[in-house]
């Protein structure tokens, strides 16, 4: 019997087209899938995220076996499980005596480093293949980024439009513009009720996994009941189809809206499926473009949505691998405060924050504006340590994988990378949150006040942030407006807001 190749499929690699499975010989090779505790606990991942990954893995293993593939699946509760990738690869090497190990590059720098040690550890060739499930390979990004001081997503996105042909008319962008964002900033009007996303009732495998997760990780933040994520490629396709029909037509208009009691609005909820490989970005963009070409969705919606995938998603992945390992240690604004306890309890008293954190606990989901302009904005204004913020985002969202989460946190939300990703910090006062949503009307704070009894914390924290960093941003033309306003303010007003900020921030460290 010829020696097998040991082919690895990690939890976020549940794709039939995975590069590690190319040229697989079912008669000879073994696919290794490992459920290890170390990966569930290096940050305390949300129970829904762990259940999603384990269930998707088990469904994927079943599908491979149905194709006649030999799958060696190490279960989380296997008593012999060493609970680390390296430990399980060592055991599998002893079991199967493979001629080589074939893997697809993982989504995290740390795991890639671990994989690179296996060749020496086992005296076997270890082939780490490119992850071909993205639309841009890492070389494409590197060539684009090399030598540039600023790496603006918008320009990368145009290159991607040209390279893939999505929403192009020859060499011109569809409709004449590359970007229709100016049309995409509407709050949700009264009376418009977003459609309910489809249900994916847990099957036997998911129920089993949910019981396991409840047993094994009782202390992790987040509710498992109500789990509603697609766990197979077929379910993910159904989720995409329902989004394209029901929500994409208005996705653009209300992409930036915040609304009380509306957790998902017109968003797609497909990030989990994309990130674990149940959907591929090309099929998602193609589906959105087709709906536009058939006249079922307007251009601002199709373009706005395709930009998120073809632009932002590909861009942050390129940026992550281009800038790691240093990117995770960036802290350009010297933010040092510990993460307040209310990020875990949802009891800050700030209605917008508690709504975002509460739904994160319940759904392992918050939409982009909640992540960026509510919880992210608060962390930016309050000067919270990027490492702690980053670990929080990595833990609490079902779609969080380091390659996508880290640049969004360090680069987009916290400006910790000093402006590589964003030309100015996404800092906003309560006025922005009030304009885009309806939380303020029901908040115990007054969004119109910046000092005194009941003043909205986003207001005094915003001006305290501007005061702290006025010099850092002095040369940034995009910060000229707030800096001018700041310079015209009466010194007593600034002093009062800064005192308010100091009092508030000191109190947050003693909150639960």
Ligand X SMILES: Cc1cc2nc3c(=O)[nH]c(=O)nc-3n(C[C@H](O)[C@H](O)[C@H](O)COP(=O)(O)OP(=O)(O)OC[C@H]3O[C@@H](n4cnc5c(N)ncnc54)[C@H](O)[C@@H]3O)c2cc1C
Which residue's CB is nearer to ligand SF4, number 36 or number 381? 381
Alpha carbons within 13 angstroms on the beta-carbon side of residue 432 total 17
Which residue's CB is nearer to ligand SF4, number 217 or number 432? 432
> Pattern 413-452, binding to ligand X, x per CB under 6 A?
x---------------------------------------
Which residue's CB is nearer to ligand X, number 30 or number 248? 248
Task: Tell me the closest approach of the beta carbon of residue 435 to ligand SF4, in angstroms.
Answer: 10
439 binds, among ligand X, ligand SF4, none (CB under 5 to 8 A by kind): ligand SF4
Distance, CA of 209 to chain centre: 23
Count of residues in the chain? 512
Task: Tell me the closest approach of the beta carbon of residue 384 to ligand SF4, in angstroms.
Answer: 16
Which residue's CB is nearer to ligand SF4, number 206 or number 434? 434
368 binds, among ligand X, ligand SF4, none (CB under 5 to 8 A by kind): ligand X
Instruction: Output the residue with the shortest Cβ distance to ligand SF4.
Output: 443
447 binds, among ligand X, ligand SF4, none (CB under 5 to 8 A by kind): ligand SF4
Task: Tell me the closest approach of the beta carbon of residue 471 to ligand X, in angstroms.
Answer: 26
Q: Does 412 bind ligand X (CB under 6 A)?
A: yes
Which residue's CB is nearer to ligand SF4, number 6 or number 447? 447
Q: Does 269 bind ligand X (CB under 6 A)?
A: yes
Nearest to 331 by CA among 421, 418, 426: 418
Helix 457-469 and helix 480-488, axial crossing angle in degrees, nearest 10: 100
Task: Tell me the closest approach of the beta carbon of residue 409 to ligand X, in angstroms.
Answer: 4
Which residue's CB is nearer to ligand SF4, number 406 or number 433? 433
CA distance 98 to 28: 10
- The one among 270, 276, 297, 384 contacting ligand X by CB under 6 A: 270
Q: Does 268 bind ligand X (CB under 6 A)?
A: yes
Which residue's CB is nearer to ligand SF4, number 15 or number 359? 359
Which residue's CB is nearer to ligand SF4, number 350 or number 421? 350
> By CB under 6 A, what part of segment 312-351 binds ligand X?
312-313, 316
Which residue's CB is nearer to ligand X, number 122 or number 371? 371
Task: Tell me the closest approach of the beta carbon of residue 504 to ligand X, in angstroms.
Answer: 22
- 100: helix, strand or coil: strand
Q: Site size for ligand X, by CB under 6 A?
A: 27
CA distance 154 to 175: 17
CA distance 450 to 70: 64
Task: Tell me the closest approach of the beta carbon of residue 434 to ligand SF4, in angstroms.
Answer: 6
Task: Tell me the closest approach of the beta carbon of residue 371 to ligand SF4, in angstroms.
Answer: 15
CA distance 473 to 128: 42
> By CB under 6 A, what part of segment 352-391 binds ligand X?
367-368, 371-372, 376
Q: Does 229 bind ligand X (CB under 6 A)?
A: no
Binding site residues, ligand SF4, CB under 6 A? 350-352, 430, 433-434, 439-440, 443, 445, 447, 456-458
Q: Does 257 bind ligand X (CB under 6 A)?
A: no
C-alpha to C-alpha distances, 383 to 334, 450, 486, 502, 507, nearest whole angstrom = 8, 18, 19, 12, 15
- φ/ψ region of 90 (left if φ > 0, alpha if ψ in -120 to 50, else beta) reads alpha
Q: Does 456 bind ligand X (CB under 6 A)?
A: no
Nearest to 78 by CA among 64, 97, 92, 65: 92
Range list of H helices, 294-418 = 299-306, 314-323, 342-345, 351-363, 368-369, 377-382, 386-396, 402-406
Contact 438, 388 (CB under 8 A): no
Which residue's CB is nearer to ligand SF4, number 389 or number 456? 456
Task: Tell me the closest approach of the beta carbon of residue 142 to ligand X, in angstroms.
Answer: 19
Cα Rg for the chain, rounded, in angstroms? 24
CB atoms within 10 A of CB 46: 27
CA distance 75 to 336: 40
C-alpha to C-alpha distances, 483 to 107, 224, 422, 466, 468, nearest whole angstrom = 39, 45, 18, 7, 11
- The one among 93, 356, 404, 479 contacting ligand X by CB under 6 A: 404
Sign of the four-CA dihedral 378, 313, 330, 477: negative
Sign of the four-CA dihedral 255, 258, 261, 263: positive
Contact 189, 195 (CB under 8 A): no
Nearest to 253 by CA among 286, 297, 223: 297
Q: Residue 237 contacts by C-beta under 8 Å, 6 or more apart in sequence?
A: 279
469 binds, among ligand SF4, ligand X, none (CB under 5 to 8 A by kind): none
Choices 286-294, 305-313, 322-330, 444-452 (CB under 6 A): range interacting with ligand X: 305-313
> By CB under 6 A, what part of segment 273-292 binds ligand X?
274-275
Q: Which residues bind ligand X (CB under 6 A)?
A: 267-271, 274-275, 308-309, 312-313, 316, 367-368, 371-372, 376, 393, 397, 399-400, 404-405, 408-409, 412-413
């Amino acid at each position: 019997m010829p020696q097998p190749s040991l082919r690895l499929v990690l939890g976020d690699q549940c794709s039939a087209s995975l590069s590690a499975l190319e040229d697989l010989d079912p008669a000879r090779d073994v696919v290794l899938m490992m459920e290890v505790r170390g990966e569930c606990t290096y940050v305390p991942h949300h129970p829904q995220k762990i259940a999603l990954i384990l269930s998707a893995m088990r469904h994927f293993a079943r599908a491979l076996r149905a194709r006649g593939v030999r799958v060696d699946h190490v279960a989380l509760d296997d008593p012999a499980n060493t609970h680390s990738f390296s430990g399980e690869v060592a055991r599998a090497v002893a079991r199967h005596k493979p001629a080589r190990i074939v893997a697809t590059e993982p989504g995290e720098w740390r795991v890639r480093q671990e994989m690179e040690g296996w060749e020496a550890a086992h005296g076997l060739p270890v082939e780490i293949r490119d992850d071909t499930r993205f639309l841009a390979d890492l070389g494409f990004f590197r060539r684009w980024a090399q030598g540039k001081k600023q790496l603006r997503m918008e320009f990368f996105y145009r290159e991607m439009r040209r390279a893939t042909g999505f929403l192009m008319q020859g060499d011109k962008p569809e409709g004449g513009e590359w970007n229709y964002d100016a049309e995409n900033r509407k709050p949700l009007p009264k009376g418009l009720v977003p459609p309910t996303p489809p249900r994916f009732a847990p099957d036997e495998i998911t129920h089993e996994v949910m019981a396991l997760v409840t047993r094994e990780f009782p202390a992790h933040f987040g509710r498992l009941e109500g789990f509603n994520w697609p766990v197979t490629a077929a379910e993910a396709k159904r989720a995409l189809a329902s989004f394209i029909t029901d929500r994409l037509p208005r996705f653009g208009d209300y992409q930036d809206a915040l609304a009380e009691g509306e957790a998902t609005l017109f968003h797609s909820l497909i990030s989990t499926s994309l990130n674990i490989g149940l959907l591929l970005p090309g099929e998602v963009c193609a589906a959105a473009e087709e709906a536009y070409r058939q006249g079922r969705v307007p251009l601002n919606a199709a373009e706005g949505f395709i930009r998120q995938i073809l632009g932002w998603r590909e861009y942050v992945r390129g940026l992550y691998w281009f800038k790691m390992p240093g990117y995770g240690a960036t802290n350009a604004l010297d933010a040092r405060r510990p993460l307040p306890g209310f990020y875990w309890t949802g009891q800050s008293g700030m209605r917008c924050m508690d709504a975002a954190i509460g739904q994160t606990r319940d759904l392992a989901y918050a939409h982009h504006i909640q992540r960026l302009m509510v919880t992210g904005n608060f962390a930016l204004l309050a000067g919270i340590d990027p490492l702690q913020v980053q670990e929080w985002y990595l833990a609490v969202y079902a779609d969080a994988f380091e390659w996508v989460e880290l640049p969004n946190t360090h680069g987009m939300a916290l400006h910790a990378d000093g402006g590589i990703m964003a030309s100015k910090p996404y800092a906003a006062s309560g006025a922005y949150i009030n304009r885009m949503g309806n939380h303020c009307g029901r908040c115990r704070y007054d969004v119109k006040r910046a000092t005194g009894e009941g003043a909205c914390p986003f207001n005094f924290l915003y001006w305290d942030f501007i005061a702290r960093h006025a010099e850092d941003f002095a040369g940034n033309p995009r910060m000229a407006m707030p800096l001018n306003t700041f310079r015209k303010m009466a010194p007593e007003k600034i002093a009062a807001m800064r005192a308010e900020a100091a009092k508030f921030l000191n109190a947050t460290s003693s909150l639960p």
